Structure 1
Amino acid sequence: MVCLTRIFYVSVLFGLLYGCNFTKLAANQTVDVFYAASASFDKEHDPDFAKSTVLGNLKVFEGLMEVVPDNQRLLLMASKSFATYVFGFVEDEMEQVERYGAEYDKLQARGTDFYTRAREYALRALELRHDGIREQLFGTGDELRKAINDMDEDDAEALFWFGYAWIGIINLQLDDPAAIADMEKVTDIQRRVVQLNERIYFGSPHLVLGVAAAAVPPALGGNPDEALFHFQKAIELTEGKFLMTNVMMAKYYHAIGRPDRDAYVAALQSVVATEPGILPDQRLANELARRKASRWLENVDSQF
């Protein structure tokens, strides 16, 4: 990844020497290199090594946006990278520090900031195809639903990451009634993504909907039956090989939506016992899932 960062800076240098057109050409080519090379990151087996490489790349993406702000591939790559960094690493750290302590607050602020950037970049990608979409998506529920119903499969990826980042913001601001009030909007977004392309990021639209339906007990508006449907559908789409789905199902369905200590433990034990290379293209996500499962198995009593 260091080499890719050098490519970016060399490209900028040549751009300064030879003019704006070359700068944009070099920036677009650099985006293509990053896109092609991103598969190696997803295949990484060492989460700590992966984490150490991410932040520099995120800033390179933002630097490239200064040169080619309308490169859709760049915008989507940045949105995904900022959002998955928070979920995979920042939220993981938050689980391991004292809740509402100084370090927790610092991580929460960073996570909210990065999710907000992720949402913004996905929104910019949508704006390349839809004039006025920003006002519609942040308008009333009816305005949002009309806007997303007018979208097609070519919008699915950007819409997914927009909604994914938005629900991430809400999850980190559960003490803010204004943030929670947007939950219906983000679930509407993911339902539309399911209609357009339910397979995005290994069935993650179903995973997000499963979490949303199970995150609160039935007495407070949760729907465990709906949650179970979406979790099972996400697992079916990947033949159970994307282990993060199983971990999230344990946390939200077996611990909150329909509490079952034995099922919770069994689900986490199954993840730990599964070879993370079962899905080579998502080895990193599976390693992170197994890390979460192992830690949660050590603290089962805190969930029940």
Structure 2
Amino acid sequence: MKKTFDLVFFLLLFALVTACSPTKFATEMAIDALTGAGSSTAFTGESDPELAAQSLPFALKMYEALLVDHPDHPALLSAAGEGFVSYANAFCQLPASMESSWEKQRHMLQRAASLYLRGRDYALRALETRHDGCIRLLNEKRYDEALENCSKEDVSDLYWAAAGWFGAISAEGFNMRRMAEAPTAYALLVRALSLDEGFNYGALHELAIAVLPALPEAMRYRPNVAPADDPVRTWEADYYHGLGIDPISDPYRAAYHHFERSLKLGEEGLVSPFVAYAEAVCVPQQDYEGFRAMLEKGLAVDMETRPDSRLVNTLQAEKARWLLAHAEDFFVVIPDEQSEE
């Protein structure tokens, strides 16, 4: 992997030194190196978050530089979408959630929202290369026409577009314009679940854990559309069919289903499902015992079970420890553990 990034660095350095655009051959080599199988593992498998935070922006700007001359390259667009959404989450919104200064937190969340939306747009452009008119149809909320012909090949871009959209909605808080876009983000998530619920070791399920308890019915579906005419409700019903779960009337039960699926698909090697459930379910229900149990189980995860996820596991473990140390900020009543003993 190091040789791959050394090669890319050399090619770009050569282009800069000679003050001209990279040759077609060199550019294609750089694109192949950046988008090839396993290319992202250099970051996701990193155990030093600071090193990843310092080096990832270089890769992101490299994607954008290459996209200037290759604006419709599907793999580049997909890589840029994944990269910007991942960076916004790991190095903007996550640290913002643990920031004590309101001013610093506000700045970090504004930056997160901007980067989330940039990643979302790249992922949507990647979808557009395979489904002409997709972006326009989504903007018009014509979800059936926009997404009906999607396949497993599209699930990655559906996921990163949905994750970026929901990330921006979360980071921007009470932005009514952004909140009004939630049904489109939800349509992307549900369509992806209906196509490949096992994508990326349960990533769709982790997103569902965070989304379902927080998203009321009015923000899931288009207004003034009969349920029988809504493709999102159809895809949703197809997914939950036979599970005995109504994600509208019992979002917490639905979230627990997604929690269990994420654990299984992630081979119990990820910290993030435990943190997501603790925040999205235990806090709203004021279940401190469940909150503590979830986070302690997350911290007990063997990081080497999934070496390709060292970075996210390291970051999520830090968040779990912070949540345990600041539980009084989230719960009205915390049992006196010493008196219970």
TM-score by length of structure 1 reads: 0.89
CA distance in 2, matches of 1:204, 1:224: 18
Answering whether residue 158 of structure 2 is matched by residue 155 of structure 1, we say no
Answering whether residue 104 of structure 2 is matched by residue 77 of structure 1, we say no
What does residue 15 of structure 2 align with? 12
What does residue 304 of structure 2 align with? 277
What does residue 56 of structure 1 align with? 58
CA distance in 2, matches of 1:96, 1:4: 37
- Report the secondary structure of 1:128's partner residue: helix
Report the CA distance shift for 1:216/1:70 in structure 2 as closer, same or farther (over 3 A): closer
What does residue 227 of structure 1 align with? 255
- Report the secondary structure of 2:92's partner residue: helix
Unaligned segments of structure 1, at least 5 residues: none
CA distance in 2, matches of 1:11, 1:190: 41
Write out aligned runs for 1:29-48 (5 A): 29-35=29-35, 36-48=38-50
- State the AA in 2 paired with 1:270: K
Is the 1:123–1:134 Cα contact (8 Å) retained in structure 2? Answer: yes
Deviation at 1:216, TM superposition (A): 6.1
- State the AA in 2 paired with 1:118: G
- State the AA in 2 paired with 1:44: E
Is the 1:15–1:26 Cα contact (8 Å) retained in structure 2? Answer: no
For the pair shown, the structure with the greater C-alpha radius of gyration is 2
What does residue 171 of structure 1 align with? 170
Deviation at 1:25, TM superposition (A): 3.0
CA distance in 1, matches of 2:196, 2:171: 27
CA distance in 2, matches of 1:37, 1:153: 21
Task: Please point out which of 287, 311, 314 is paired with 1:287.
Answer: 314
CA distance in 2, matches of 1:276, 1:215: 29
| Mean CA deviation greater in 270-279 or 75-84 | 270-279
- Report the secondary structure of 1:29's partner residue: helix
Deviation at 1:270, TM superposition (A): 1.4
Deviation at 1:130, TM superposition (A): 1.4
CA deviations on 1:172-200 (whole Å, 9 max, x unpaired) are 12211221122222222111101111222
| Mean CA deviation greater in 180-189 or 69-78 | 180-189
CA distance in 2, matches of 1:99, 1:227: 31
Deviation at 1:70, TM superposition (A): 2.1
Report the CA distance shift for 1:28/1:197 in structure 2 as closer, same or farther (over 3 A): farther
What does residue 249 of structure 1 align with? 277
CA distance in 2, matches of 1:231, 1:203: 9
Q: Which has the higher helix share?
A: 1
Is the 1:207–1:234 Cα contact (8 Å) retained in structure 2? Answer: yes
Deviation at 1:291, TM superposition (A): 0.8
Report the CA distance shift for 1:153/1:108 in structure 2 as closer, same or farther (over 3 A): same
Report the CA distance shift for 1:8/1:78 in structure 2 as closer, same or farther (over 3 A): farther
- State the AA in 1 paired with 2:114: D
Q: Kindly tell me the number of residue pairs found equivalent between the two proteins.
A: 296
Is the 1:79–1:119 Cα contact (8 Å) retained in structure 2? Answer: yes
- State the AA in 1 paired with 2:42: S
Q: What is the identity percentage for the equivalent residue pairs of Structure 1 and Structure 2?
A: 26
What does residue 23 of structure 1 align with? 23
TM-score by length of structure 2 reads: 0.80
CA distance in 1, matches of 2:302, 2:153: 34
Report the CA distance shift for 1:186/1:216 in structure 2 as closer, same or farther (over 3 A): closer
- State the AA in 1 paired with 2:138: L
CA distance in 2, matches of 1:217, 1:86: 25
What does residue 287 of structure 2 align with? 260
